[in-house]
Structure 1
Amino acid sequence: MTTRERIMEAARRLAARHPFDRISFADVAKAAGVHWTAVRRHFGSKQEMRVWLAQQQEDNVPSLADTRTRILDAAARVFARLGYAGASLEQVAADAGMTKGAVYWHFSSKSDLFAALCEKNLTQQLKMLTQQAGSALNSAVPAQGLARLLQSQFACVEEGQGNPMLFFEFVTASRDPAVGEVLRDAYGKIIDGVSGVLAQLQESGVVKRDVAPDSLAVLFQALINGLILGWLIDPDRIRFEQVVPELSRVLWEGLQPSVDDATAPV
């Protein structure tokens, strides 16, 4: 068996018994009987190794992935209901129908769990926004496309799904260094992702080119978060079905390209 094969086999065995984010280079090296630098050489960065380990768990140990998902789903409900300060791992475990020890097996602390939940939610938001933004602005009537995009962001709020309080709990809890770092990283990825879509649309002449795409991405995200905050404060005043079409029209008037934008070479 080659050194690489020993390392991979050891990593697979560890992935079958431990959460992927608790496995280190040193753990794999000890199990494989090699120096930890050999593990790093084969995997690259720690993050790359953990992505590989997570995939192994999803493919080969579904019970681990399912348990982690159940904990994160329960955590979303508990943190949204009680807030970060008022929630505990015991309450999350009870909501998930598990023991506290099962939660601790996957997450070392409340801040560790909360940070994972923050990253999961904002990653899902990034995926949805980047998929929808391009098709919305490329539609035959972009203002209507924008309205559909925004309405999809708010539909789950009005239906009592998606825990709209959760994002603001993320912000409140960002004073915890571990949570703050994850929040900044995930939020930055949202801005970068939307900015990338807008930059492509600018190059295609779909969106005006005289505004930096990252500034537009910040504006767009601020609009979504601001409307959700307003709805949480006064849902009778903020009726999405009424305000979204008007806001989308105004937003598109600021985004639509001029004749020069549409015809100028890139």
Structure 2
Amino acid sequence: MSTVTPHTSGPAPERRRPPREEVRRALLDAAAQVFARQGVDGASVGDVAAAAGFTKGAVYSNFGSKDDLVAALVEDRVSAYLELGLAAVSDTDASLGDKARALGDRLTRAADEQRDWQLLFLELWQRAVRSGTVDGAFAQRRRELHAAVTDAVAAHLDEAGMTPPLPPAELATLLIALSNGLALERQVDPAHVPDDLFGRVLALVVGSPEVI
């Protein structure tokens, strides 16, 4: 007598549909990686969708077009950069010099952890410069980033009761330029960009006397 249990058929379990925000996040992360490595113009919507594990329809339903995806990606990365910087200087009991070092060290670690970010920045920068479009999404978000960094610099200087060595807007320009430039140099020749170099330079800029 057979002891095999008869197979009973039934409806297949319903596959969970990921929330829209989860799909959008996955597509933005995939786009950042694909565009950094293949270039925005060299990569297709299908490439981004495949990297995220979805169909092209998911890209169009969430962003409308490739250009809209690029614009959303720019906003996402600028916001992430700003949040990272603000978190690094959130210790209200730290001195201005300590905050400057903490900021430089955190941004250096971020560049090491997510190397595609810098490649993506270069790709978007080249597209903006070559197109000559000063009012494009990239340029607009960079202006917003600069304004936010300027406000943060001014607030921290005022809190410390320090007279800035340069106007806050110029300090913001210097901070952003150092962040990008040192990250690029570190990718090419990490031995010449010590882990704490950015932080020490920022501390020197704000006039911290404890810099070694």
Q: Which residue of 2 is the match for residue 157 of structure 1?
A: 111
| 1:177 positional shift | 7.5
Deviates more, 1:194-203 or 1:84-93: 194-203
Deviates more, 1:142-151 or 1:176-185: 176-185
After superposition, residues 73-222 of structure 1 pair within 5 angstroms as: 73-133=29-89, 135=91, 139-140=94-95, 142-160=96-114, 163-174=117-128, 175-176=130-131, 181-209=136-164, 211-222=166-177
Q: Distance in 2 between matches of 1:75 and 1:178?
A: 22
Instruction: Note closer, same or farther for the CA distance 1:107–1:249 as it changes in structure 2 (3 Å cut).
Output: closer
Q: Which residue of 2 is the match for residue 227 of structure 1?
A: 182
Instruction: Report Cα offsets for 1:184-209 as digits up to 9, x if no partner.
Output: 22111221112112222343453324
Q: Distance in 1 between matches of 2:179 and 2:82?
A: 13
Instruction: Report Cα offsets for 1:6-34 as digits up to 9, x if no partner.
Output: xxxxxxxxxxxxxxxxxxxxxxxxxxxxx
Question: What is the percentage of aligned positions where both structures have the same residue?
Answer: 30
Gaps of 5+ in 2: 1-16
Q: Which amino acid aligns with 1:223?
A: L
Instruction: Note closer, same or farther for the CA distance 1:144–1:75 as it changes in structure 2 (3 Å cut).
Output: same
Instruction: Note closer, same or farther for the CA distance 1:133–1:222 as it changes in structure 2 (3 Å cut).
Output: farther
Q: Which amino acid aligns with 2:102?
A: R
TM value normalised by structure 1: 0.63
The answer to whether residue 13 in structure 2 is matched with residue 63 in structure 1 is no
Q: Distance in 2 between matches of 1:81 and 1:109?
A: 20
Gaps of 5+ in 1: 1-60, 257-266
TM value normalised by structure 2: 0.77
| 1:108 positional shift | 3.0
Instruction: Note closer, same or farther for the CA distance 1:190–1:72 as it changes in structure 2 (3 Å cut).
Output: same
Q: Distance in 2 between matches of 1:91 and 1:191?
A: 32
Q: Which amino acid aligns with 1:98?
A: F
Q: Distance in 2 between matches of 1:197 and 1:157?
A: 21
SS at match of 2:172: helix
Instruction: Note closer, same or farther for the CA distance 1:116–1:180 as it changes in structure 2 (3 Å cut).
Output: farther
Q: Which residue of 2 is the match for residue 20 of structure 1?
A: none
Q: Which amino acid aligns with 2:150?
A: S
Structure number having the greater helix percentage: 1
Task: Considering Cα pairs closer than 8 Å and 6+ residues apart, tell me whether 1 or 2 has the greater RCO.
Answer: 2
Q: Which amino acid aligns with 2:166?
A: V
| 1:90 positional shift | 0.9
Q: Which amino acid aligns with 2:65?
A: S
| 1:162 positional shift | 5.6
Q: Among residues 194, 201, 209, which one is paired with 1:247 in the alignment?
A: 201
Q: Which residue of 1 is the match for residue 192 of structure 2?
A: 237
